[in-house]
Amino acid sequence: MMAYLGAAYLWVKAAHVIFVIFLMAGLFMMPRFFIYHQQCAVGSDEDVKWIERERRLLRIILNPSIILVWVFGLMLMVEIGAWHFGWFHLKLLVVLGLSAYHGWIAGYSKKLAKGLRPMTDRQLRLLNEVPGVAAAIVVIAVIVKPF
């Protein structure tokens, strides 16, 4: 099991889980930010505050976390030869989806910063469920290994 990481394997695994937690927290928070942001007038002081909050969440938590999740995850994938396991393919598919969701979040925050409000509060509330469903699927795939 310890091909190239050796004694660092458990540290890499721990780091992967830690940054997954940070990433998921940010992915849960941002759509809620969007809901509150959309309720304020474009160009208001409150609008400016929400733009800054969203920018900081992306810059300080979400962007570094997704990079580190991928780096540590790829290290673990190589270490255990995960590509040969069916459960890993499901996990990878969900992680790719969450990465796309992260991209959508970054794009939507830019739209809000420009004064656009293309989605309803209800749509944003539904999208807020995506990380929870994804997390459940990944945890089941990795822990239960159904295939």
Eight-state DSSP code of residue 6: G
Eight-state DSSP code of residue 84: G
Is 16 annotated to bind a ligand? Reply is yes
58: which residues sit within 8 A by CB, 6+ positions away?
A: 26, 30, 105, 106, 109
Task: Record the pTM.
Answer: 0.93
Give CA separation, 103 vs 15, 20, 30, 40, 46, in Å.
22, 16, 12, 24, 24
- Give pLDDT tens digits along the chain (147 positions): 457 999 999 999 999 999 999 999 999 999 999 999 999 999 999 999 999 999 999 999 999 999 999 999 999 999 999 999 999 999 999 999 999 999 999 999 999 999 999 999 999 999 999 999 999 999 999 999 999
In whole angstroms, give the CA distance from residue 106 to residue 41: 21
Three-state DSSP state, 115: coil
Is 111 annotated to bind a ligand? Reply is no
* Alpha-helical regions (H) of the chain: 9-38, 45-56, 63-80, 86-113, 121-127, 130-139
